[in-house]
Amino acid sequence: MSDVKELIDGMNEDLAAEYQAVIMYRTYASLVTGPYRREIRSFFESEIPDELGHAAFLADKIVALGGTPVTQSGPVPIPRTNREMLEVALQAEVDTIERYTKRIEQAEALGELSVKLQLENLVVDESSHRDDLRRMLMDWRE
């Protein structure tokens, strides 16, 4: 039972991070400035539905496993420049992939194959976000 509790606790950590991502992307979309404002704003806004979908999956699975979903997000840093916003977002995606990789191992150890497979799909989504951010930052000039 303690292994299931560890998985639930980890998924709640992931859920708080997904809430954080929604708030972060919405905030950054509003804060972005400069000649590429429209493109960067559009990028940030386009990430929000994916993050909300991830949060819904996590909350539903937490309940299905016998837990209660968290309702608080992690803190959202407020960078000063567009580049810093993209760098913070990139690090958040890298951290998320790392957490989900751990969660996949936990789910597999518990025989929760459906959870494992769905988490693998989230890793695919987050990896795509990470790669988009890396490309946006490639050869960035202020």
pLDDT (tens digit per residue) in 71-108: 999 999 999 999 999 999 999 999 999 999 999 999 99
Count structural domains, the chain: 1
Predicted confidence band of residue 1 (pLDDT cuts 50, 70, 90)? low
Whether residue 33 is contained in a domain is answered as yes
Asked if residue 13 is part of any domain, the answer here is yes
The pLDDT value recorded for residue 142 is 64
Question: Looking at the domain assignment, is residue 55 inside a domain?
Answer: yes
In the prediction, which pLDDT does 140 show?
A: 80
Check residue 47 and give its pLDDT.
Answer: 94
pLDDT in tens, 119-141: 999 999 999 999 999 999 998 87
What CATH number corresponds to the domain at position 17? 1.20.1260.10
Is residue 40 one of the residues assigned to a domain?
yes
Q: Is residue 28 assigned to a domain?
A: yes
Collect all residues with Cβ–Cβ distance below 8 Å to 137 and sequence separation of at least 6.
Answer: 83, 86, 87, 90
pLDDT (mean) for 51-69: 97
| Predicted confidence (pLDDT) at residue 2 exceeds the cutoff of 90 | no
Residue 65 covered by a domain = yes
Give the tokens for residue 86: 């993209």
Inter-helix orientation angle 82-109/113-137, to 10°: 160
Structural domain span for residue 14? 2-137
Dist. CA 75–CA 67, nearest whole Å: 23
Any domain includes 85: yes
Tell me, yes or no, whether 142 lies in a domain: no
